[in-house]
Amino acid sequence: MTYRTEYIAGIRAFADWLENNPAVAVPGSEKFLLPLHTNPAVEEFAAKHSLAVAADSEGNESAEVTFGPIAYQAYGYVDFNEHLARNDERNARRWAEKQGLEFRRAEEEDSRDRAADVADEVAAEDGHRFVGVPFQRKAEAA
């Protein structure tokens, strides 16, 4: 038996079980998701099954076939890797905000760190000895 035949048999068995147990609530999600990763793959799927293609605000596409309240949705992305990167950044920013942290571009931080290191080196070369922090990096000042 292939995974596909096992999956279909599982759906049928699940439907039978729900029907035979009317006191059990039906699932809250009515979507079976099919990740195709690219918009052209979604367009091909939609054309093969005479389905309309919808796009979200980022241009990512999906096509859906419905069976009563249940939907089988194929979805893809303009650029899957870019989508993952944007999603990772959004999640990281949310996490940082909850922690009271802030993101800055690495080049800006590197520039500040280099300035702090140069100031420390110049002071040391001139024979100065600082008590405390002679030059606070922005991250250290907070």
Q: What does the pLDDT look like over 16-48, one tens digit per residue?
A: 999 999 999 998 888 999 999 999 999 999 999
Return all residues near 78 (Cβ < 8 A) that are at least 6 apart: 39, 58, 59, 60
Within a domain: residue 40?
yes
The residue among 12 and 124 whose pLDDT is bigger is 12
Within a domain: residue 38?
yes
The residue among 131 and 34 whose pLDDT is bigger is 34
Element (H, E) at 14: helix 3-20
If you search the block for the tokens 């990740």, which residue do you land on? 35
Within a domain: residue 88?
no
Strands 31-38 and 53-55: unpaired
In this structure, are residues 84 and 78 in contact, taking their beta carbons and an 8 Å threshold?
no
The overall average pLDDT reported for the chain is 84
Within a domain: residue 21?
no
Q: CATH number of the domain at 40, please.
A: 3.30.720
**How many C-beta atoms surround the C-beta of residue 42 within 10 A?**
26
State which residues form the domain around 65. 29-82
Within a domain: residue 55?
yes
The tokens describing 97, both together, are 């905000």
Within a domain: residue 131?
yes
Residues 118 and 78 in one domain: no
Within a domain: residue 3?
no
Confidence of residue 84 (pLDDT cuts 50, 70, 90): confident
Residue 35: φ, ψ to 5°: -75, 115
Q: How far apart are CA 39 and CA 58, in angstroms?
A: 12
Split into its structural domains, the chain has a count of 2
Within a domain: residue 139?
yes
